[in-house]
Amino acid sequence: IVIHLESFQQFLIDYKLQVDGKDYEVTPFINSIYHSNETLAFSNFFHQVKSGKTSDAETLMETSLFGLSTGSYMVNYGGTNTAYAAPSILAQTGDYTSAVFHGNTGSFWNRNNTYKQWGYNYFFDSSAFTEKTDENSFQYGLNDKYMFPDSIKYLEQMQQPFYVKYLTVSNHYPYTSLSGDEKEQGFPLAETKDETVNGYFATANYLDSAIKDFFDYLKETGLYDNSIIVMYGDHYGISDTRSSNLAELLGKNPETWSNYDKAMLQRVPYMIHIPGYTGGGISNTFGGEVDALPTLLHILGVDTSSYIQMGQDLLSPDNKQIVAFRTSGQYVTPQYTSYSGRLYNTQTGEEITNPDETTKKDNEAIRKAVATQLSMSDAVQTGDLLRFYTPNGLKPVDSSTISY
Ligand code: GP9
Ligand code: MN
């Protein structure tokens, strides 16, 4: 069960918003999952999306290929390209049935066509749920506290084992989806000069509570004990142009807010929650969304050695820990951060203005690795190259057998 946490940044984890001298924990339930020893959690996991936003995150997470440098891969190629995505791989290696639940119209980001190419058997979009009203929804669809309970009548009919994805929406810009929503719980607004920043915590808190309720349902029905639950944040919620307005809330000085701070804010949660497993913990390995699929498949015991995937297993000791942003020349490694034309020491946040020879050489090598990873991904995506290559043991999806 994969839960896509809309616009959810890593800094929300364990964050307490202070209003009128009182502390309000924003996402208590997600925090408890993050810290559980039944969870493999990552503290340096970065989103890698560009203008395809949510659709880029979906592409990265489920195919281990990047979105495009301009526009959305799902919109431009998703409906026609041959793909070996999570649902298709799991159907063929583990007999999984698959579905997506999302409270927006199915054609948004060309999902209805792309999901067929990815092998999703079912797609439950807004037409499958309670009618949207002004109170329970906003421009991006049905609010999370309606979508999750509404999905259950479908979920309980799914052939097991299943691979399902929930795309949440309530924590989406402009963070005002809760006005009129009866299930909102009065979480306070922040008090900065930026309305967008102010609303972000209340919608994140609402998402947290929707997920807690969903977990309660999973536990009641016993599905929980037989499932792995993955959660990830798709991309930033507060953009670089606004993020200095977060500085004070994060105990930083808005005057000295730097490109380094902006880069670090591109971290999003990635958690693999395995009920009954006790070897979890928080890994500081640096990685990104492109690494999620190989990591998950290896946990599930799938041999990915013949698959065309750009990511690396985050749990592998051989992981290179080079995180490419989709904007060229931008990257993060445990040592260096290159963002908006400036280079920083990742550990200290200090800018490197006069790099020595070793630093220059190191960064040239990183730049090359990043450029290669992106250009290989672009070649596959824009040339539809997977139509010429069938990984061992897999067949391409016949999307004509899927209808929604
Ligand atoms: C809409 C939702 C939002 O269906 O997934 O997409 P975004 O604006 O974040 O790309
Ligand atoms: Mn999104």
Mean pLDDT for the chain overall:
98
Beta bridge partners of 273: 39, 229
Q: What mean pLDDT is predicted for residues 150-161?
A: 98
Output the CA torsion sign for 255, 286, 206, 29: negative
* pLDDT at residue 47 in the model: 98
Collapsing DSSP to helix, strand or coil, 312 comes out as: coil
Give the separation between CA 315 and CA 291, rounded to whole angstroms.
10
The tens digit of pLDDT for each residue in 212-246 reads 999 999 999 999 999 999 999 999 999 999 999 99
* pLDDT at residue 162 in the model: 98
Helix residue ranges, H only, 222-281: 259-264
**pLDDT level of residue 303 (50, 70, 90 thresholds):** very high
The answer to whether the CB of 54 is under 6 A from ligand 1 is yes
* pLDDT at residue 400 in the model: 96
Give the separation between CA 7 and CA 63, rounded to whole angstroms.
20
**pLDDT level of residue 404 (50, 70, 90 thresholds):** very high
Q: Which of 54, 203, 304, 346 is catalytic?
A: 54
Q: What are the distances in angstroms from CA 173 to CA 178, 205, 270, 318, 366? A: 12, 14, 21, 38, 33
* pLDDT at residue 260 in the model: 98
Considering only CA atoms, which of 373, 329, 245, 312 is closest in space to residue 45? Answer: 312
Choose which residue among 53, 58, 61, 171 to substitute to test ligand 1 binding: the one with the highest number of ligand atoms within 8 A of its C-beta.
53
Q: What mean pLDDT is predicted for residues 198-223?
A: 98
Residue type for 218, please? Answer: L
* 54 part of the active site: yes
pTM of the full structure: 0.98
The answer to whether the CB of 104 is under 6 A from ligand 1 is yes
CB neighbour class for 382 (10 Å; exposed up to 12, middle 13-18, buried from 19): middle
Peptide bond preceding 161 in cis form (omega within 30 of 0): yes
Ligand sitting nearest the alpha carbon of 168: 1
The tens digit of pLDDT for each residue in 317-345 reads 999 999 999 999 999 999 999 999 999 99
Q: Name the residue with the closest Cα to ligand 1, atom 5.
A: 54
The answer to whether the CB of 12 is under 6 A from ligand 1 is no
The tens digit of pLDDT for each residue in 278-288 reads 999 999 999 99
